[in-house]
Amino acid sequence: MPLLKSWVETANDPDGDFPLNNLPYGVFSVGGDDPRCCVAIGDKVLDLAALEAAGLIGVQGEPVFDHPFLNEFMELGAEIWAQTRSKLQDMLADGADPKAITPALHAQSDVEMHMPFIVVEYTDFYAGRHHATNVGTMFRGAENALPPNWLHIPIGYNGRASTVVVSGTPIRRPLGQLKPPDADAPHFGPCKRLDIELEMGAVVGTGNRMGEPVTVQEADDMIFGYVILNDWSARDIQAWEYQPLGPFQAKVFASSISPWVVTKAALEPFRCSTPEREKTLLPYLQEPGPMLYDIDLEVKMQATGSDTTTTLSRTNYNQMYYSAAQQLCHHAIGGCEMSVGDLLGSGTISGPEKDERGSLLEISWGGKEPFTLDSGETRSFIEDGDTLTLSGRASGDGYNIGFGTCVGTILPAIEKENW
């Protein structure tokens, strides 16, 4: 599919992230106004609540865009998603009359972005083979890197929806129990091995009833769109607590997402297949067609007090072993009710090479191989004041489908006497 031309000139920039082909959804405010729904087009945001109030878009019934979240629109289902996208593309296409639309456009530089949807539940998976192999090799040795079930099911755990935040929200360094390998007993204090996990997040747009499993195809149909996700991780807290039930405090303190939800429709030209299976999956997990996406991803770090940003990693979502549709299918197969606004983290996305690793744990190989930033500082993990920026885009014929950035700066831990 080529670039769709728009009368919004900046949407035609071949290096931009938000052409007419994209139209990702978000929630914005400007000045003292209440947050409401929007789409991105070029360097502008288009106020959907204003268009709805003017009768230019919408469906019968109550307004769905005059809210600080997308959930009410998402629950209307795929037919309404498609109709709304088509209508917006018609109104913004080159040759359309901009007169009625222009008053609803705002410069992205003038607005504040908010959480795009209410995260009802959050589940994080461990579905990238290169990441799982690297981490397993560090902790258990190469011969036992992957758990016995890893090639058969997408492993996941339930995280905390309450601490999923939008890009730009500062992240407080967590506290917890720490036990270095040479210590006889744990102690309490700030995490010293703070890390990121480069992930994609799948946003569930329609749900299922409790007790009713879904197929992989039905799961794919339930997904509204995708965000960039940074699942912040406290590796030293995790190392002590994760046996036998997995992560707890090490993961629940924060997860950041990009402000834009890129729709599945915008990503359709970039579908690709999951890799060839070493072990044949059980029939319920087998995909009827390509369910992954070719999306380039990048991690950058800016050290505290520095003006220089260093690219740490470049990889691609196509490296995942399990797709979001497979993850959602497996999540619901036992009868779990999935809801509008559920968020599924893909798991850390790493490629086969060192410069394709999606976590500092892998890049520094557990802290044994510190890396040097372009500004001259060295790091193994994140220090207070450091800023991490995750981004992603799919590249088409003369256009990109971008997600914006997922940014977080680390604040010092809160410490009290006698802790």
The pLDDT value recorded for residue 135 is: 95
The pLDDT value recorded for residue 65 is: 98
Q: What whole-number distance in Å separates Cα of residue 169 and Cα of residue 162?
A: 14
For residue 194, CA distances in Å to 37, 76, 231, 381, 412 come to 34, 40, 11, 6, 11
Say if residues 345 and 229 touch (Cβ distance below 8 Å): yes
Q: What are the phi and psi torsion angles at 371 (to 5°)?
A: -115, 155
Catalytic residue among 67, 131, 330, 331: 131
The pLDDT value recorded for residue 309 is: 98
- Count CB atoms within 10 A of the CB of residue 167: 23
Q: What whole-number distance in Å separates Cα of residue 170 and Cα of residue 330?
A: 33
Active-site residue 106, yes or no?
no
Structure tokens at 45: 């945001």
Phi-psi region of 152 (alpha: psi -120 to 50; beta: other; left: phi over 0): alpha
| DSSP 8-state assignment for residue 101 | T
| Domains present along the chain, CATH in parentheses | 9-114 (2.30.30.230), 122-411 (3.90.850.10)
For residue 299, CA distances in Å to 150, 367, 390 come to 26, 18, 5
The pLDDT value recorded for residue 417 is: 79
Structure tokens at 6: 């728009």
Q: Which residues contact 48 (CB under 8 A, 6 or more apart)?
A: 36, 37, 38, 39, 57, 65, 104
Instruction: Tell me which residue of 321, 218, 323, 313 sits closest to 267, measured CA to CA.
Output: 323
Strands 387-395 and 400-411: antiparallel
Q: Give me the tens of pLDDT residue by residue for the chain, a chain 419 residues long.
A: 899 999 999 999 999 999 999 999 999 999 989 999 999 999 999 999 999 999 999 887 789 999 999 999 999 999 999 999 999 999 999 999 999 999 999 999 999 999 999 999 999 999 999 999 999 999 888 888 999 999 999 999 999 999 999 999 999 999 999 999 899 999 999 999 999 999 999 999 999 999 999 999 999 999 999 999 999 999 999 999 988 888 899 999 999 999 999 999 999 999 999 999 999 999 999 999 999 999 999 999 999 999 999 999 999 999 999 999 999 999 999 999 999 999 999 999 999 999 999 999 999 999 999 999 999 999 999 999 999 999 999 999 999 999 999 999 999 999 887 77
Q: What whole-number distance in Å separates Cα of residue 142 and Cα of residue 321?
A: 18
Rounded-to-10 torsion of CA 15, 16, 21, 24 = 150
- Count CB atoms within 10 A of the CB of residue 103: 12
Q: What whole-number distance in Å separates Cα of residue 380 and Cα of residue 373?
A: 11
User: For the chain, what's the residue count?
Assistant: 419
H-only helix segments in 8-162? 48-53, 71-74, 78-92, 129-140
For residue 130, CA distances in Å to 75, 135, 151, 181, 197 come to 35, 9, 12, 25, 13
The pLDDT value recorded for residue 415 is: 87
3 state SS of 324: helix
